[in-house]
Amino acid sequence: MVFASNNTKLSEKLLNNFNLVKMESAMNKKLIIQILAVELVRSLFIAVMILGVVLVSNGNNQMVMNPRILSKIHPASQMEQHPSSVSGNKAEHLYHMFIIQTASHYQIDPALIKAIIMAESGYNTKAVSNKGAKGLMQLMPETAQSMGVEDIFNPHQNITGGVQYFKQMVNRFNGDVKLALAAYNAGSRNVRNYNGVPPFKATRYYIKKVLKYYQIYKNQMGEEIDRV
């Protein structure tokens, strides 16, 4: 009888220990779930904060890359490049004569076309934007097609299509270069809707950047003519 009693007590003790282990296991699972939930919320909060810094509204209820962030991750979008780093671009020298010939054909200052290419792609012939613009002058596929461009990554075709399209914008806005640049960047519809340069930070930054590069290339080409 004593032996049976001891067995019973031992069984009860083992059962209690088992139940205790189950309770602790359940509590540990609950604690782990709570910790994971907190970490998930924290991660989502950080992600939202990062997106808030990286993305900004362009004034047309569209989210675009913050120019300040873009200038850090895309060398071609930096405003304050040293003149020598702009005029000394090897790809720019490679297409120098073709740009002059094409721009002159469409009665556009070649220095301005060089500036647009530098601002758009940094002379990267394979450049593709997050919106799908491609090539040296960042043509959208539908725009390239309308300009007769068959191979959008072909430098000569891309430049020809880009210059032709920019010339259309210049004519559309009566020779106003700033409005033509705004239309090239944000679309002619936005320029007409706002009756001027749209209040988009990205577009205003783009115009300022192109005009800065334009001055550099204009001075460079002027010096070349003086040497001749």
Whether 120 is catalytic is: yes
> Who's near 79: CB < 8 A, 6+ residues apart?
71, 205, 208, 209, 212
Q: Measuring CA to CA, how many Å separate 211 from each of 25, 80, 113, 182, 222?
A: 67, 12, 11, 12, 16
Q: Three-state DSSP class for 187?
A: coil
> Who's near 159: CB < 8 A, 6+ residues apart?
95, 98, 99, 102, 113, 117, 136, 137
Catalytic residue (one of 12, 24, 120, 150)? 120
Strand partners, 55: 65
Runs of H (alpha helix) within the chain: 2-54, 67-73, 83-87, 90-94, 96-105, 110-121, 141-146, 155-172, 177-186, 188-193, 201-227
Which residue matches tokens 């002059």? 100
Catalytic positions, please?
Answer: 120
